[in-house]
Amino acid sequence: MRVIGPDQGAAPAGGTAVTIGAYDGVHLGHRYLLSELCSRAAAEGLSTAVVTFDRHPATVVRPESAPLLLTDLEQKLELLADCGIDTTLVVPFDRERADETAEGFVDEILVGVLGARLVVVGEDFHFGHGRKGTVALLRELGTVHGFGVEGVQLSGTDGEAVSSTRIRQLVAAGDVAQAAVLLGRAHEVRGPVVRGDGRGRSELGFPTANVAVPPDVALPGIGIYAGTYTRPDGGAHRAAISVGRRPTFYDDAGDRPPLLEAYLLDFDGDLYGEEARVGFMERLRGEERFERVEDLVAQMHRDVAAVRGLPGPGPGGTA
């Protein structure tokens, strides 16, 4: 997949089938829309393009209530490439872009850069300043500029619309299993492995990787999870994962930000400094405060046994 900016594109001679959106999560609804884009493009002999943004538009338009991200830009581009898209145009989103009219966006990006002949979007799609751009307006502009427009309903297996908002709610509630159903994959966060308090190996007997997840990325709700840890070389390990505040060790735990700690099953090695990818399969339990460290260790053994009993990469499970 080719990744370009607004000043790097040259409209393909045969024209392009285009979709536009934040595409946060690249969930099953998005994937359905992208499959429709690809099939209709193939029927008309067009290349495919996704127009997305370098940040979530809400971070500029309403930063006080901007949503946490299901995918950072790097992961989003990887997922779009997996969907067979030819080109992704990443538009820098700033205040000037937020103030741009829908008509200006169509002229500059869809027509000028991509030479759009077909635009496929969700049926409730809005764009441009004040969200005044709609599917109906796109159709009007299409008659002027020579492109067709299709509005698609993003439905899930239960008939409800699949949305990034709905998935964020599930992730925040710790229901990562249902979030995975709507995403079509496990919810994954990324970040470097940093040094923590150092008690995992010496005091608890469970050395953990402390993953520094960017604050704008959606972490699951506080709790203990079964999941996976993927290393930069692609090697995947089952993991018992804590997203918590460590109340057994800190009286002020409630005031501390959540920390992601992953214990890799059947692994012994140095992870410090590497970029980790942590996927969440299932919530095992809530976080608890134990009166004795021995009780915490006993519970951690039970958590690891529960993870080991689930399907997954590595010994005792299937990839």
Looking at residue 231, its pLDDT comes to: 95
Among candidate residues 133, 152, 171, the one where a domain is terminated: 152
C-alpha span between 294 and 102 (Å, rounded) = 61
Judgement on whether residues 120 and 192 belong to the same structural domain of the protein: no
Q: For the chain, list the strands marked E by DSSP.
A: 2-4, 16-20, 47-53, 87-91, 116-122, 148-152, 187-194, 209-211, 223-230, 236-244, 259-264, 275-285
Q: From the CB of residue 70, how many other CB atoms can be counted at a distance below 10 Å?
A: 24
Judgement on whether residues 193 and 94 belong to the same structural domain of the protein: no
Judgement on whether residues 118 and 198 belong to the same structural domain of the protein: no
Examine residue 209 and state whether it is found in any structural domain, yes or no: yes
Judgement on whether residues 18 and 136 belong to the same structural domain of the protein: yes
Residue carrying structure tokens 């002027």: 144
Examine residue 169 and state whether it is found in any structural domain, yes or no: no
Examine residue 178 and state whether it is found in any structural domain, yes or no: no
Examine residue 168 and state whether it is found in any structural domain, yes or no: no
Contacts of 219 (CB under 8 A, 6+ apart): 68, 171, 189, 213, 243, 258, 260
Among candidate residues 152, 176, 201, the one where a domain is terminated: 152
Examine residue 167 and state whether it is found in any structural domain, yes or no: no
Q: Which two tokens stand for residue 306?
A: 């529960």
Q: Which two tokens stand for residue 235?
A: 């090697």
C-alpha span between 217 and 98 (Å, rounded) = 22
Judgement on whether residues 214 and 277 belong to the same structural domain of the protein: yes
Residue 136's domain comprises: 2-152
Examine residue 171 and state whether it is found in any structural domain, yes or no: no
Domain CATH for 38: 3.40.50.620
Judgement on whether residues 109 and 249 belong to the same structural domain of the protein: no
Judgement on whether residues 36 and 143 belong to the same structural domain of the protein: yes
Number of domains in the chain: 2
Torsion over CA: 264, 266, 271, 277 (sign): negative
Judgement on whether residues 126 and 264 belong to the same structural domain of the protein: no
Q: Which residues are catalytic?
A: 261
Judgement on whether residues 79 and 145 belong to the same structural domain of the protein: yes
Looking at residue 9, its pLDDT comes to: 64
Phi and psi based region of residue 159 (left: phi greater than 0; alpha: psi -120 to 50; beta: remaining): left
C-alpha span between 260 and 213 (Å, rounded) = 8
Q: Among residues 124, 123, 118, 54, which one has the least CA distance to residue 88?
A: 54
Domain CATH for 247: 2.40.30.30
C-alpha span between 188 and 180 (Å, rounded) = 10
Question: What is the DSSP annotation of 37-102?
Answer: HHHHHHHHT-EEEEEEESS-THHHH-GGGPPPBSS-HHHHHHHHHHTT-SEEEEE---HHHHT--H
Judgement on whether residues 6 and 134 belong to the same structural domain of the protein: yes
Looking at residue 254, its pLDDT comes to: 64
**pLDDT truncated to tens, each residue of the chain (319 aa)?**
999 999 876 677 789 999 999 999 999 999 999 999 999 999 999 999 999 999 999 999 999 999 999 999 999 999 999 999 999 999 999 999 999 999 999 999 999 999 999 999 988 888 888 888 899 999 999 999 999 999 987 765 555 678 999 999 999 999 999 999 999 999 999 999 998 766 555 556 778 999 999 999 999 999 999 999 999 999 999 999 999 887 666 666 566 788 999 999 999 888 999 999 999 999 999 988 887 888 888 988 999 999 999 887 765 444 3
Looking at residue 251, its pLDDT comes to: 62
Looking at residue 12, its pLDDT comes to: 75
Judgement on whether residues 92 and 218 belong to the same structural domain of the protein: no
Looking at residue 247, its pLDDT comes to: 67
C-alpha span between 189 and 75 (Å, rounded) = 9
Judgement on whether residues 142 and 19 belong to the same structural domain of the protein: yes
* DSSP-derived secondary structure letter, 155: B
C-alpha span between 126 and 102 (Å, rounded) = 9
Q: Which two tokens stand for residue 239?
A: 């993991």
